[in-house]
Amino acid sequence: DPPPDDQYGRTDAPGTFAGDHKDRRGIIFVGGNNGMIHAIDARTGYEVWAFVPYNLLPKLRALADGQPVEQFDYFVDSSPKIAEVKLTGQWRSMLIIGQGQGGTFYQAFDVTMAGMGVDPAADDIGAVNALLAQFDTPNESIDFKWAFPNYSSFDPAYTAVFNVFDGTPGKRVKLFGDVKATATVAEKTVGYSWSDPAVGPLNSDRSVNAVIVGSGYFPDIESAIPNRGAAAPRAGNVLYLIDADTGALIGNPGEGACNGSGCLSVGDLAANGWKNALQADPTAAGENGSHVVTKAYIGDIDGRYWRFNFDATGAITASQMVDTGAPIYASSALLFVGSADVYMFLSTGSDLLPSSAPGGTGTFRLYGLKDNHPGAGATTKFAQDLLTVTDNGGLATGERPSTAPTVAGDIVFFTTTVESAAAPCSDFQSKLYALTYAGGAAYDTNNSGGLESNESPVIRTLAGRATAPFIVDQHLYFGTAGATGAQIEAFGDPEDFNNGIGQVGVRILSWREIR
């Protein structure tokens, strides 16, 4: 998040945004597979508000059919993004959430007043009743702002079933509605809204704020959908700059072709046998010392990693950093060294993808890159090979990344999953990797007393599949889940907490596993 201005306030002084809202009661927002976005009181666990996205209304009837493993119906299958943005001269708190495999829409809400007016420390039923009464008044606490695509472009009457062979569970896609024939060109390029957005100002006075998001994967079925037809653009391979206040594309209010004004398509390499998409979360950045967002980094399923540059007019250009040759599904992490050098960390492949799907086998890698800006491309600092993945009747043998990496100081951490088709009912293994930003192992894994050339970048091997690593307060956490159940792994000094530094600039110097 960019540093605040005087109107936002750097303290809790009255008359500033921070001061006037310092006593907001904590609210937890979550997407649910019952078709709703939920708001839950963080102190008591009572649900105080829920919202059903318009495009999911006709899909609710699928809940009555049950949820077979091979044909699961997804709904709000995404995580909310909270951002504080200055809209029309006033600071507001926004919530933006997609639908993942549940649908092709993003929704935005003004949640500035959510949790206001009720004692933030009260746990009694009176506080709960006061919250419920407050949320009962439409638009009093949460105000729906916009949807992209626009809900008016949704056709709830359309339904169809398609057979697909792209790794979709059950090899079948069932649509409960789709965009109308009259939907704009840009609206027809939106895929399943997997990509969690980045949010930030595009100019110094914060009068233009963008929701930066990729379009997400969409099966290769557009030409068979009557509302789209053979002339419809291929959905999924577009980056959007959405106006945070209105939901329109910046510089392209008519939402025409995505050729670099408000949205930009990176195309599709048809020769590799799978359909392209910008499915990952974009990682946004600006110039050193500035709060203005000028670029975003994101990989595509064709294996190309991109830097998108843009400005407040909505003009977008794309520069390919590297072509990995393998699908990129997860978001990347950035590290700034000095005032100009930008290092980028990403991985190829995903342990969630069926090994029988296109792009599901091969040797996947953990990458560290240095942006050659303003020159072309990037310099590869490391490309750590993982165990080669083979397909054995739909079961994988090998190693694939779990999800996105994270950076602490000058070290980048990755988690991976090791699978074996020979023992499909036994537990997975998860590995925790630690590499320096310039390449090479970050820790003394052989206990020699110093870093040597033969150190392993793997610092822990654990049972189960791992989540992404999360670093805060000089500690690293991630979850594991497998045959023995689910647990949280925690590393760091158990006596060293609350140092006030946060993640930026922290280097974890020693490892002690907390039990």
Phi, psi of 215 (to 5 degrees): -85, -15
d(CA 344, CA 382): 11
Residues 122-138 have pLDDT tens digits of: 999 999 999 999 898 87
Q: Give the angle subtended at the CA of 104 by the CAs of 256 and 47, to the nearest 5°.
A: 130
* Distant-in-sequence, close-in-space partners of 38: CB < 8 Å, separation ≥ 6: 29, 30, 31, 32, 47, 49, 50
pTM: 0.93
Q: Give the angle subtended at the CA of 220 by the CAs of 217 and 221, to the nearest 5°.
A: 115
Q: Which residue has the tokens 């009572």?
A: 46
Reported as a pLDDT band with limits 50, 70 and 90, residue 71 is: confident
Residues 217-272 have pLDDT tens digits of: 999 999 999 999 888 899 999 999 999 999 999 999 999 999 999 999 999 997 88
Better-predicted residue by pLDDT, 470 or 31:
31
Reported as a pLDDT band with limits 50, 70 and 90, residue 43 is: very high
Instruction: Please classify residue 71 by burial: count the beta carbons closer than 10 Å to its beta carbon, then call 0-12 exposed, 13-18 middle and 19+ buried.
Output: middle
**442, amino acid identity:** A
Reported as a pLDDT band with limits 50, 70 and 90, residue 502 is: very low
Q: In the prediction, which pLDDT does 500 show?
A: 46
Give the number of other Cβ atoms within 10 Å of residue 8's Cβ.
16
Q: In the prediction, which pLDDT does 509 show?
A: 45
Q: In the prediction, which pLDDT does 395 show?
A: 87
3-state per-residue secondary structure call for 389-435: EEEECCEEEEEEECCCCEEECCEEEEEEEEECCCCCCCCCEEEEEEE
Q: In the prediction, which pLDDT does 2 show?
A: 52
Q: In the prediction, which pLDDT does 70 show?
A: 73
Q: What is the mean pLDDT of the chain?
A: 90
d(CA 290, CA 314): 19
Residue 489: pLDDT above 50? yes
Query: Which of 257-266, 378-387, 503-512 has the weakest average pLDDT?
Result: 503-512
d(CA 13, CA 251): 37
Q: In the prediction, which pLDDT does 506 show?
A: 42
Residues 396-412 have pLDDT tens digits of: 999 999 989 999 888 99
Residues 163-202 have pLDDT tens digits of: 998 888 888 999 999 999 999 999 999 999 999 999 999 9
What is the rounded average pLDDT of the residues 259-288?
Answer: 93
Better-predicted residue by pLDDT, 474 or 353:
353
